[in-house]
Chain A
Amino acid sequence: MGESMRNARKQLKIVLLSVAAVLVIALVVVIGAGYFGFIEQQSSHDAERHLKEVYLQVNRSFRSFLDRNWGLLESCDDYFTLAGGETESKETLEKQFIEDKKEYWGFTDFYFLKPDKTYYSVKDGLGETPLKNAPQTLIDDKKPVMTQEKIGGKDLTMFAIAAEGEYDGFAYSAIGISYTNTDVANALNANAFEDENGKGTAECYIIRPDGSVLCSTEMGGGAMKNYLTYLENLVDKKTIDKIREDLTDMVSPDTANEGDYGFAISGGKDGETHCFIYMPVGYEDYSLLSDVPQTAVSQGFLLAQRATMRVFLIISSIIAVAVIGFFIYRIFVQMRQSKTELQYRERMFDVLSSSVNDIFLMLDPVKEKVDYISPNIERLIGIKVKTARENIRAMAACAVDRNIIVPNSELKEIPLGESRSWECQYMHQATGERRWYLVTIYRTEIGGVEKYIVVMSDRTLDKELNRRLQEALDAAKSANEAKSNFLSNMSHDIRTPMNAIVGFSALLERNAADAELVREYTRKIMASSHHLLSLINDVLDMSKIESGKTSLHVERFSLPDLLEEINIIIMPQAKAKGQEFTIKTQGNPPEELMGDRLRVNQILINLLSNAVKYTPEGGKIAFTVGQQDSSDQFVTLRFKVKDNGIGMSEEFVQEIFQPFSREKNSVVNKIQGTGLGMAITKNLVDLMGGVINVESAPGMGSTFTVDLTFARAEDDAEDKWFTKRITRMLVADDEEEICLNVREMMRGTGIDVSYVTDGAAAVDAAAKAHAHNSDFHVILLDWKMPGLDGVETARRIRERVGKEVPILVLTSYDWSEIEEEARAAGIDAFMPKPFFSSTFFQTIKPLFCGPSEEEKAPPAEGSMEGKLFLVAEDNELNSEILTEMLAIEGAKCEVAPNGKAALELFERSESGYYDMILMDVQMPVMNGYEATRAIRASAHPDAQTIPIVAMTANTFAEDVKSALDAGMNAHLAKPIDMDAVRKTVAQFLDKTEKGEDL
């Protein structure tokens, strides 16, 4: 409001000042015009008066000139009349008289004229052509005349009078003399009007009313034929008409008056102001007319006028300059202020725009040029300001999708004052960085000129945030869906075994008397329980891995042992489904490695279990271990599990390692699983720094490849002295690859390996060697060979070579079923596939060296008969189960409901009263760890020696470590596995009994 008021006041001030300036100028102009009009009028009067005085005198002089010439002619006529004597003498006298007069008067020639206008020239004789203008009045009226004639090509003024006589035989009736124009003009010259060079400025003419010229003072006046016509090209018609009318009136007998004269003044096209003065000559209709520049006539006036004008102009100019200067100063100050403000604003805007990522432009849509562009464009889009200014289309070139940019034609359709927006991504021309902008174009008008104001608001962060939020949302949705699915699956998978457990438990109760049914139901309940347990273990495992609490326990382990364990676990599963399961090695992988054997085992079991699970009955599963890369310290092994099962879709392969993912709903497939196995596997592989890959296609089976790097374990210094007695060995396997693998494995041991691919050949080979008294020192037979199997082959070899040569059977299968038959057939020992040299040496060592002391001793059974356990367990059911189980084993127990109670019982007991303490961990009052520390710290004599075994549902490695750290000796996981309990008890009780350190 205040601003608009100020502007209105400012505009009013400017208007008032402008009006005042105009009034002042108008006043000055009016005063000046009045003054100069007055001066001009006075000057005109002065010129008229002056000219009149001068030219009345000139006119009298000219008239006198005429009279003198006519008088001269009369005197000549008188002389010719009076001259007598002889004709010749008369002519001589007349000629001399004429010459004298000519010399004195300055005329050009003397003429004798006839009425027929022929003439005789004293100078040239008889004229060639008659005169043209000599008026008849001369002859008829005997009046003197002045006329203009062209004689000998020259325009001459002739004066003539009537006179009769004869000259040189030429009878004449008139005589005349001629003057050139210059001669006549001399009579008209007025020396009053000369310029500064002394040159006459006045032109004087003797003219008729029609303008025809008799003579003039002008140089070359001969060219002037009609003065009034000439004047038409020089001054205005009004002046000419006035002169023409005056000339006519002045010589007309009706209107002529004594002392008539005319005066006119007019500006000429030649830039001069002409003053015309004219008056009748008094002879016929001739008038004298003079054209004099006003500057020559009114020199004094004009000088004064000029001086006044100069002063007036100077003063006016000073005032005008002062006024204009004042206005210019004001305008300059305002412009400077505006410019400064503009510069401030622009600078502020530049700084502002340089600190933000928004770009601002102002465009002129008509000229298609950039009026303003914020300098941050170079930083944000990589275009120089100058480039963008010169060609705004350069910006469009930076748009990632140019089709998004709205064309100019459409922009013109935006109503004035409104805007249009769109999002567009631009790429930095130098760095390639992409940014999202919300481009908004405002169509507006500034100072009556249409402009587009463009604001490019940076939306990159918003876009990124939105993207991340979307991803998070998607992930959350996915996770939610997966977990929902998982819960659904788990609900099903948990309820299924639970249903079995609950159902068979009910059946058990009803049929408790039927021992056979009880065993059947119990077995099924056990199976369901184990499944449920594995389910829980997986969930917990995954939970632990995801929470980052999983750590590796690197220790020395035997690859052959690992593979044997796997074989023991998987082979029965495969066998149950009628699948062919094979384990092979490739190359010569090291047998002793440093690694987390349990986790490796877990990985491989997971893969193989899945292979068994998702391979139909009768399918094939091949497990291969090969050496991928090695150095002195490290070796990378490739474990490959290949099946010809149902395979997976490409989409599922992408997600297979995601938690809770199963290709098809487990309900439909009727294949039990948590959907966590592969995720656990992948995480474990990652944890070990390995790589897992999968190739699969629906119906084409799957191949999982796991590359794991292990440190090589140092060679144990086991004495293999017995091998010195073995130099030759026969291998028989229908798979030649296995034979070759055995040979490869035995390279460097000093044992020469021969092989055959069937049983009969093996028999022959053994027989031949025997015949040559060079028996093989060991014979290794595959169990299942086409033709003669391993057992039959062994039997036949024994028949041919006797019992001396050790015969071993190499097999992937559980040989317990055929062990008795095999030993009867002469087989000394069994070896699991795949073949490893270490396994081989362990197997044959007893054959050459006899059994070791350990082997001779009966296996520890861990008998708990008569033992007393202190059980700390807060859960009554668990304590009851444990009590019953221990009772079954012939042991007794005392139960403490918490750690403190257990501590008190122990402290109150006598030395040796308890054989072992089984300690739960999570208990009220005092937990297991605190109780153990307290026991160990107590003064009880058995405080340091009594075995304390954790028996807890806390099964993680950390839990084990915590238990050991608290002073416990071992860790058993719930649910209670009596075999594990039995083994642990046997281990510690044996040591206790022997007085060894626990």
Chain B
Amino acid sequence: MKKLCLPLAATLVALSLCAGCVVQDDPAALKVMGKKTDLEKPYMTEIFDHYRETTGNALELIEVEDASFETEALRRMGTDKAPDILLHFHNADLMRFDVEENFVFLNDEEWVSDLTESARAYCTDADGNLLGLPFWESSVSGCYYNKTLLEEKGLGAVATQEDFDGLCDTLLKLGVTPILWAGDGCSWMPQFGLDPIFADDADLLESLNRNEVGYADIPAVADMVGWISSAAQKGWFGTDYRKTGWDGISPALASGSAAMTFIWDTWFYTDFTAGKYTMDDFELMPIFMNTAKEGTYEGGNLNMMMVNAHSERREEALEFLRFCATPENYNVAFRDISTVSVFQGQTTNIQSQMVTDAMESIRRLERVSTASTKILGYSAEDTVDALSRLMQGRLGTKECVEELDRARRERAKNAGAEGF
């Protein structure tokens, strides 16, 4: 009986170690680790298959359940179980890995010049080191406005915060809700205002993340909060913005009851339903939230292929990245995928006309998604909660900024961040 129990126990331990991941034990294969859902994206499976077919090389995909991915990846790195390539977003979680120690900086790769500016910026750390190859679908978040509606009112897109405010006033005077602000559960809008503050000042972000400064020390944060408060009070967000959720955005824009909203281009492919106005009536201009005089766009969050610096097959891994970054290969993978181009040579993807038309402005004003990904302790829910109370008049601008700080610090502290 005892003899039988030992192998059984060993098996159970082995199984428990592999819990949540699928391992194909092939010593010759290049090991690529990522979230199961990420690795199953069509363009990912396409590039993997294309690689295998083209090179004859083997790939071993380590698919980890989303919930246990971070833990599993951290546990493996630095061990002989570590993958050769790790798929990871450039976000706050990545800071828990010793990036400098564990991953290869890719600054010198030839394909770097083919990356769009925003994609390159997204994948670069504070010191200007490129951490990975962005191989993901992307989008541009900005102020999508109903060009036809504005023209019907004798109005047009604006280029400054002052003109944007004037536009909002004029639209309101003409009976149109200027900005569709989805106040019920839609938490992405505030981060667009914060992006310019920290994307344009890496030192400030670093100080914030070291808890050397807080929001209250940054006047631009108060400017944004004050603008939101003022806009709400003036009626720029309409009267029912607190009840408007995800499902309310499309009807309001399609009917023309609202003229603009802060969202991303692919939303029009996934959630917009044409009404009086169709997708062709919309164009893109920068987001104005009183933190960037000429406005801002937010680039997409991109999954990066990062090469394990300690991998014995590091060169093969770099070769794999080069394979992926080759136009003829990534154009195979992203064929008919709705995405903003990550590579300049991307031609087979579907990029919205709105983005194309605004590309010059995007190149100039696009910021990497910073607030939601790089501010330690940032919580979209906390931000929305505090801003909701602000718009209800339960908090003043100063109190709202303090509340945002308090919540951020508490979360950072709970996450064990240094300095909190």
Q: Is the CB of B160 within 8 A of A154?
A: yes
Query: Closest Cβ of chain B: how far from A156's Cβ, in Å?
Result: 10
Q: Is B361 an interface residue (CB 8 A)?
A: yes
Q: Which residues from chain B contact A225 at a C-beta distance below 8 Å?
A: 150-151, 154-156
Q: Is the CB of A223 within 8 A of B174?
A: no
Provide the bound-state CA to CA distance between A998 and B153, in Å: 151
Q: Is the CB of A223 within 8 A of B156?
A: yes
Cβ contacts A178-195/B at 8 Å (1 or 0 each): 000110000000000000
Q: Is the CB of B166 within 8 A of A229?
A: no
Q: Is the CB of B165 within 8 A of A219?
A: yes
Q: Is A221 an interface residue (CB 8 A)?
A: yes
Q: Which residues from chain A contact B365 at a C-beta distance below 8 Å?
A: 153
Q: Is the CB of B159 within 8 A of A234?
A: no
Ordered nearest first, which 5 A-B pairs have the shortest CB separation? A220-B166, A230-B154, A229-B154, A222-B163, A223-B167
Q: Is B399 an interface residue (CB 8 A)?
A: no
Provide the bound-state CA to CA distance between A221 and B360, in Å: 22
Q: Is B294 an interface residue (CB 8 A)?
A: yes
Query: Closest Cβ of chain A: how far from B256's Cβ, in Å?
Result: 13
Q: Which residues from chain A contact B173 at a C-beta distance below 8 Å?
A: 234, 270
Query: Closest Cβ of chain A: how far from B160's Cβ, in Å?
Result: 7
**Which B residues, 346 to 373, have Cβ-Cβ distances below 8 Å to chain A?**
360-361, 364-365
Q: Is B198 an interface residue (CB 8 A)?
A: no
Cβ contacts A789-803/B at 8 Å (1 or 0 each): 000000000000000
Cβ contacts A152-164/B at 8 Å (1 or 0 each): 1111000000000
> How big is chain B's contact interface, by range?
20 to 34
B170 touches which of A152, A230, A269 (Cβ 8 Å): A230
Task: Known A153-B159, A153-B361, A223-B170; judge A211-B154 contact (CB<8 A).
Answer: yes
Interface of B is mostly: helix
Q: Which residues from chain B contact A230 at a C-beta distance below 8 Å?
A: 153-155, 170, 174
Q: Is the CB of A154 within 8 A of B154?
A: no
Q: Is A218 an interface residue (CB 8 A)?
A: yes
User: A229's closest neighbor in chain B, by CB?
Assistant: B154
Query: Closest Cβ of chain A: how far from B293's Cβ, in Å?
Result: 10
Q: Is B152 an interface residue (CB 8 A)?
A: yes
Task: Known A220-B158, A229-B154, A234-B174; judge A153-B364 contact (CB<8 A).
Answer: yes
14 of the cross-chain contacts (CB-CB < 8 Å) are A153-B159, A153-B360, A155-B159, A219-B165, A220-B166, A221-B166, A223-B163, A225-B156, A226-B154, A229-B151, A229-B153, A231-B154, A232-B154, A234-B173
Q: Is B162 an interface residue (CB 8 A)?
A: yes
Q: Is B169 an interface residue (CB 8 A)?
A: yes
**Which A residues, 961 to 980, have Cβ-Cβ distances below 8 Å to chain B?**
none
Give the number of residue pairs across the A-B interface with Cβ within 8 Å: 81
User: B162's closest neighbor in chain A, by CB?
Assistant: A220
Interface of A is mostly: mixed
Q: Which residues from chain A contact B360 at a C-beta distance below 8 Å?
A: 153
User: A270's closest neighbor in chain B, by CB?
Assistant: B173
Query: Closest Cβ of chain A: how far from B183's Cβ, in Å?
Result: 24
Provide the bound-state CA to CA distance between A230 and B364, in Å: 30
Q: Is A411 an interface residue (CB 8 A)?
A: no
Q: Is the CB of A153 within 8 A of B170?
A: no
Q: Is A228 an interface residue (CB 8 A)?
A: yes
User: B170's closest neighbor in chain A, by CB?
Assistant: A223
Q: Is B237 an interface residue (CB 8 A)?
A: no
Q: Is A511 an interface residue (CB 8 A)?
A: no
Q: Is the CB of B159 within 8 A of A154?
A: yes
Q: Is A224 an interface residue (CB 8 A)?
A: yes
User: A156's closest neighbor in chain B, by CB?
Assistant: B159
Q: Is B192 an interface residue (CB 8 A)?
A: no
Q: Is the CB of B154 within 8 A of A224?
A: yes
Q: Is the CB of B162 within 8 A of A219?
A: yes
Query: Closest Cβ of chain B: how far from A52's Cβ, in Å?
Result: 25
B164 touches which of A155, A181, A220, A233 (Cβ 8 Å): A220
Q: Is A276 an interface residue (CB 8 A)?
A: no
> How big is chain A's contact interface, by range?
20 to 34
Q: Is A657 an interface residue (CB 8 A)?
A: no
Residues on A facing B (Cβ under 8 Å)? 152-155, 181-182, 211, 218-234, 269-270
Q: Which residues from chain A contact B294 at a C-beta distance below 8 Å?
A: 153-154
Q: Which residues from chain A contact B170 at a C-beta distance below 8 Å?
A: 218, 220, 223-224, 230
Q: Is the CB of A233 within 8 A of B153?
A: yes
Task: Known A228-B154, A230-B153, A231-B154; judge A222-B169 contact (CB<8 A).
Answer: no
Q: Which residues from chain B contact A219 at a C-beta distance below 8 Å?
A: 162, 165-166, 169
Q: Which residues from chain B contact A227 at a C-beta distance below 8 Å?
A: 154
Provide the bound-state CA to CA distance between A219 and B165, in Å: 8
User: A223's closest neighbor in chain B, by CB?
Assistant: B167
Q: Give me 5 other A-B pairs in contact (C-beta within 8 A), A219-B166, A222-B159, A230-B174 excluded.
A: A154-B159, A220-B165, A221-B163, A227-B154, A229-B154
Query: Closest Cβ of chain B: how far from A292's Cβ, in Å?
Result: 16
Provide the bound-state CA to CA distance between A270 and B167, in Å: 16
Provide the bound-state CA to CA distance between A233 and B172, in Å: 12
Q: Is the CB of B151 within 8 A of A233?
A: no
Q: Which residues from chain B contact A211 at a C-beta distance below 8 Å?
A: 154
Q: Which residues from chain A contact B154 at a C-beta distance below 8 Å?
A: 211, 224-233
Task: Known A153-B159, A223-B156, A225-B155; judge A233-B166 contact (CB<8 A).
Answer: no
Q: Which residues from chain A contact B167 at a C-beta distance below 8 Å?
A: 220, 223
Provide the bound-state CA to CA distance between A925 and B289, in Å: 149
Provide the bound-state CA to CA distance between A228 and B153, in Å: 9
Query: Closest Cβ of chain A: how far from B143's Cβ, in Å?
Result: 12
User: A181's closest neighbor in chain B, by CB?
Assistant: B163
Provide the bound-state CA to CA distance between A155 and B156, in Å: 11
B155 touches which of A181, A223, A234, A270 (Cβ 8 Å): A223
Q: Which residues from chain B contact A182 at a C-beta distance below 8 Å?
A: 162
A229 touches which of B152, B162, B163 (Cβ 8 Å): B152
Q: Which residues from chain B contact A154 at a C-beta distance below 8 Å?
A: 159-160, 294
Q: Which residues from chain A contact B158 at a C-beta distance below 8 Å?
A: 220, 222-223
User: A212's closest neighbor in chain B, by CB?
Assistant: B154
Query: Closest Cβ of chain A: how far from B227's Cβ, in Å?
Result: 14
Q: Which residues from chain A contact B165 at a C-beta distance below 8 Å?
A: 219-220
Q: Which residues from chain A contact B155 at a C-beta distance below 8 Å?
A: 223-225, 230
Q: Is the CB of B163 within 8 A of A233?
A: no
Provide the bound-state CA to CA distance between A475 and B70, in Å: 115
**Which B residues, 159 to 216, have Cβ-Cβ distances below 8 Å to chain A?**
159-160, 162-167, 169-170, 173-175
Q: Which residues from chain A contact B151 at a C-beta distance below 8 Å?
A: 225-226, 229
Query: Closest Cβ of chain A: how far from B168's Cβ, in Å?
Result: 8
Q: Which residues from chain A contact B361 at a C-beta distance below 8 Å?
A: 153
User: A227's closest neighbor in chain B, by CB?
Assistant: B154
Q: Is the CB of A220 within 8 A of B169?
A: yes
Query: Closest Cβ of chain B: how far from A226's Cβ, in Å?
Result: 4
Provide the bound-state CA to CA distance between A181 and B153, in Å: 20
Provide the bound-state CA to CA distance between A110 and B279, in Å: 40
Q: Is the CB of B160 within 8 A of A222?
A: yes
Q: Which residues from chain A contact B162 at a C-beta distance below 8 Å?
A: 182, 219-220, 222
Provide the bound-state CA to CA distance between A338 and B14, in Å: 100
Query: Closest Cβ of chain B: how far from A733's Cβ, in Å?
Result: 116
Best-surrounded residue of A222, A227, A231 (most CB of chain B within 10 A): A222
Query: Closest Cβ of chain B: how far from A126's Cβ, in Å?
Result: 16
Provide the bound-state CA to CA distance between A224 and B170, in Å: 9
Q: Which residues from chain B contact A220 at a C-beta distance below 8 Å?
A: 158, 160, 162-167, 169-170
Provide the bound-state CA to CA distance between A152 and B165, in Å: 20
User: B173's closest neighbor in chain A, by CB?
Assistant: A270
Provide the bound-state CA to CA distance between A224 and B168, in Å: 11
User: A216's closest neighbor in chain B, by CB?
Assistant: B166
Provide the bound-state CA to CA distance between A222 and B169, in Å: 13
Query: Closest Cβ of chain A: how far from B187's Cβ, in Å?
Result: 28
Provide the bound-state CA to CA distance between A152 and B365, in Å: 11
Q: Which residues from chain A contact B166 at a C-beta distance below 8 Å?
A: 218-224
Provide the bound-state CA to CA distance between A781 and B164, in Å: 150
User: A230's closest neighbor in chain B, by CB?
Assistant: B154
Q: Which residues from chain A contact B157 at a C-beta distance below 8 Å?
A: 223
Provide the bound-state CA to CA distance between A908 and B265, in Å: 165
Q: Which residues from chain B contact A233 at a C-beta distance below 8 Å?
A: 152-154, 174
Provide the bound-state CA to CA distance between A598 and B159, in Å: 143
